[in-house]
Amino acid sequence: MSRYWCTLLLIGIGLQVTSEAEGVELRLKVGEAQQGKFSNEINEYSKPREAYNAPEVAGEKGVAGAEATAQEDQQDGKIVNGTLADQGEFPYALSLRRAKTGAHSCGATLLNSRWVLTAAHCVRGSKPEQLNVQYGSNQIDRNASQLAWITAIHVHPGYEPQDKYIHDIALLQLKVPILYSRSVQPVRLPKPLQQVEANSSAILAGWGLNATGGALQLKLQKAQLQVFSDEECSRRHETQLHRSQLCAGLPEGGKGQCSGDSGGPLLLPALDTQIGIVSWSVKPCTRPPYPGVFTEVSAYVDWIRETVGCHDPHHSRLWIGDLVVARKPPPLHN
């Protein structure tokens, strides 16, 4: 596809892009949140918005855990009631960081050697040079050597933080391809519009806080959750969620995502496929009966494929559906 046609296509759908070369700034600050519902990002600049059907008002900063960023260097903490992930268990898991400080902000996943998947609220309002990703390790480190820098940010055109964070998805284009290894491999995407059955078991992976106002862990955690039906999800949240969102947690609460997990993956363990991107949840973290809310990846596979293909046709290969049975990455030079 020519660059000219790609430009016409993306103008036609209103894609909002932040490019290092163009120096374009987006209009909203990262992680702007509604009171009562909050994005699961670590960000001291977040501002509260009006609540919709909120069972509880969020803290002064709007995003739970924002006031806990000073605790980042503590050695304890985990996804709420999670367990340590094995090294190499999630070789596509990335830590999205503030380049200036090296502080963890959100999770992300590696799509191929040049592209990263995360949540829109993690990056909207940021310039590419303000962010980087750490890869190839379960342990986040401000002084890590395995870092990749970002050259462009592609936020979904329909992203709307004031409407339950619908279309909370973004793509990051890396400056230089990442080389694959045992601990660095791409994630598998679901087939377009692939449905996830209610009550399916799913795995959440991330470095988020172990509780609202708790500690950010340094080692990658995982937690086994239950996927809820769309009807059950809307009933529990007492509001109609968008068809491109899904819920996961436990009926009794007590396990799931918290601040710092945003942008990270929810996976079907049997298929090793990413079905969700951590988007938002109710404060305090894992409070029953409210499950965590995720962007449903299968609703955006076509958008991902088109965006990657338009902007980087030489690195457009993606792992979708049943193209690869075992965990075997595409060739290094894709």
Which positions are annotated as active-site residues?
A: 121, 168, 262
146-to-135, 142, 309 alpha-carbon distances in Å? 6, 11, 26
- Among the listed residues 254, 261, 245, 271, the one whose alpha carbon sits nearest the alpha carbon of residue 109: 261
Phi and psi angles of residue 9, each rounded to the nearest 5 degrees, phi first: -60, -45
Cα(56)–Cα(151) distance, integer angstroms: 39
Instruction: Encode 103-140 in three state secondary structure.
Output: CEEEEEEEEECCEEEECHHHHCCCCHHHEEEECCCCEC
b/e per residue, 183-197, with b = 16+ CB within 10 A? bbbbbbbbebebebe
Q: Which whole-number Å values give the CA distances from 149 to 105, 115, 122, 135, 305, in the listed order? A: 15, 11, 16, 11, 21
Q: Do 107 and 207 meet the contact criterion of CB atoms below 8 Å apart?
A: yes
DSSP 321: T
